[in-house]
A and B are shown apart, each in its own frame.
Chain A
Amino acid sequence: MPVRNMIDAIRDAIDVAMAADDRVLILGEDVGVRGGVFQATKGLIEKYGESRVIDSPLAESSIAGVAIGMALEGLRPIAEMQFADFILPAVNQIISEAAKMRYRSYNDYSVPMVIRAPFGGGVHGGLYHSQSNETIFMHCPGLKMVVPSTPYDAKGLLLSAIADPDPVVFYEHKRLYRLIKEEVPDGHYTVPIGQAKVARPGRDLTIISYGLMVHFALEAAAALAKDGVEAEVVDLRTLLPLDQDTVLTSVRKTKRAMVVYEANRTLGPGAEVSALIAEHALFDLDAPVLRVAGLDIPAMPYNQVQEEFFLPSPDKIAKAAEALMAS
Chain B
Amino acid sequence: MAKTQPKAPQGLSQDGLVQIYKDMLVARLLDERMWTLNRIGKAPFVISCQGQEASQVGWAAALRPDDVVVPYYRDMGVAIQRGMTIRELMLAFFGKQGDPNSNGRQMPGHFGCRRLNMVSGSSVVIVQMLHAVGVAYAMKMRKQDRVAAVAFGEGATAEGDFHEALNWASIYRLPVLFVCENNGYAISVPQKKEMAVENVSERARAYDMPGVTVDGNDVLAVYEAAVEAVERGRRGDGPTLLELKTYRVVPHSSDDDDRVYRSREEVEAWKQRDPIKQYQLTLIEMGLWDAQRDQAVRAEIQAEIEAAVEEADRAPFPAAEDALRFVYADEEGR
Chain A interface (Cβ < 8 Å from any Cβ of B):
25, 51, 56-57, 59, 61-62, 64-75, 77, 89, 92-93, 96-97, 100-110, 141-142, 144, 165-166
Contacts and interface: CB of A to CB of B under 8 A. Distances in A.
Contact of B161 (A57, A65, A74, A165): A65
B122 A61 contact: no
A106 B161 contact: no
Interface in B128-143: 129-139, 141
Interface string B124-161: 10010111111111110100000010000000000011
A68 B114 contact: no
B138 A57 contact: no
Contacts of B334: 141
Contacts of A74: 138
A57 B135 contact: no
B108 interface: no
B119 A107 contact: no
Contacts of A56: 168
- Choose among A64, A89, A107 the residue with the greatest number of B CB atoms under 10 Å from its CB: A107
B124 A107 contact: no
Nearest to B167: A57
Q: How large is the interface on B (under 10, 10 to 19, 20 to 34, 35 or more residues)?
A: 35 or more
A305 to B, nearest CB: 38
Interface of B: 68, 100-103, 105-106, 110, 112-114, 119-120, 122, 124, 127, 129-139, 141, 148, 160-161, 164-165, 167-168, 171, 325-330, 334
B85 to A, nearest CB: 16
B161 A51 contact: no
A97 B160 contact: no
Contacts of A73: 68, 134-135, 138-139
Given A103-B326, A107-B326, A68 B122 contact: no
- Choose among A51, A62, A144 the residue with the greatest number of B CB atoms under 10 Å from its CB: A62
Contacts of B134: 65-73, 75, 77
Contact of A70 (B103, B112, B119, B137): B137
B156 to A, nearest CB: 13
B187 to A, nearest CB: 19
Given A66-B133, A107-B326, 5 more contacts: A61-B130, A62-B168, A97-B124, A106-B105, A109-B114
A102 B129 CA distance: 18
Contacts of A57: 164, 167-168, 171
- Choose among A59, A72, A75 the residue with the greatest number of B CB atoms under 10 Å from its CB: A72
Nearest to A52: B141
Contact of A51 (B103, B141, B168): B141
Given A102-B328, A108-B113, A96 B135 contact: no
A70 B168 CA distance: 13
A165 B133 contact: no
Contacts of B103: 106
A107 B169 CA distance: 28
Nearest to B165: A62
Contacts of A59: 160, 164, 167
- Choose among A51, A73, A97, A107 the residue with the greatest number of B CB atoms under 10 Å from its CB: A73
B127 A65 contact: yes
A65 B165 contact: yes
